[in-house]
Structure 1
């Protein structure tokens, strides 16, 4: 080879992608539980779990009642947050991820 010819880098081999870390459900469970307790009146915990319709219902009750409905929706969020955090990962997965149970 001559010095003037550009050298091509060796072909890159793609590294195998690691398997997803177990515990993704646990992360969702923790996030949904904590958000249910702290931000339950806004329906954030429902958005995290993918329950958009239920989340919008909670958010609309809070906003359309100028915050007066927030007491009720906060209690709902508090109860649901505690329920989420007290379930085992397997129970949470079966009930709320696979079973798609929207309320309590």
Structure 2
């Protein structure tokens, strides 16, 4: 249980709006943990250091692309792509990265 930010009545933690006053609720701690479990700095550093092997793809949940990176690692193309991705991850704001990482679904999702 949590309390409404507008009228202070008790609500369920998954409530988006208060049924009493209709005030929109901030995200609870439980929902922010699910959405922000991926850190942009960790993803960026993994992409820069081990991106040629697709480790950053496994970290972000795109394991299908991770396998493609491993299969093609001998061509150095994944390393070049990972260099660009690592810089992109580090340049994105924390909110944009969290939003895009939470929206990723499936093994071939692309976080750009």
Band the TM-score falls in, shorter-chain normalisation: 0.5 to 0.7
Any residues of structure 2 matched to 1:1-104 within 5 Å, and which?
25=36, 28-62=39-73, 67=74, 69=75, 71-95=76-100, 97-100=101-104, 101-102=109-110, 104=112
Deviation at 1:103, TM superposition (A): 5.1
User: What are the ranges of 5 or more consecutive residues in structure 1 without an aligned counterpart?
Assistant: 1-18
Q: State the structure with more CA Rg.
A: 1
The structure-2 alpha-carbon separation of the partners of 1:34 and 1:103, relative to structure 1 and needing over 3 Å to count, comes to: same
Q: TM-score with structure 1 length normalisation?
A: 0.64
- Aligned counterparts of 1:91 and 1:72: Cα–Cα separation in 2: 26
Equivalents in 1 of 2:62, 2:42: separation in Å?
A: 14
After TM superposition, which residue ranges in structure 1, 4 or more long, deviate above 4 angstroms? none
Greater RCO (CA < 8 Å, at least 6 residues apart): 1
Pairwise CA distance, 1:94:
1.4
Q: How much is the aligned-residue C-alpha RMSD, in angstroms?
A: 2.3
Q: Decide which structure has greater helix share.
A: 1
Contact 2:36 2:102 in 1 (8 A): no
8 Å contact kept, 1:25–1:89: no
| Separation (CA, whole Å) in 1 of partners of 2:59 and 2:53 | 12
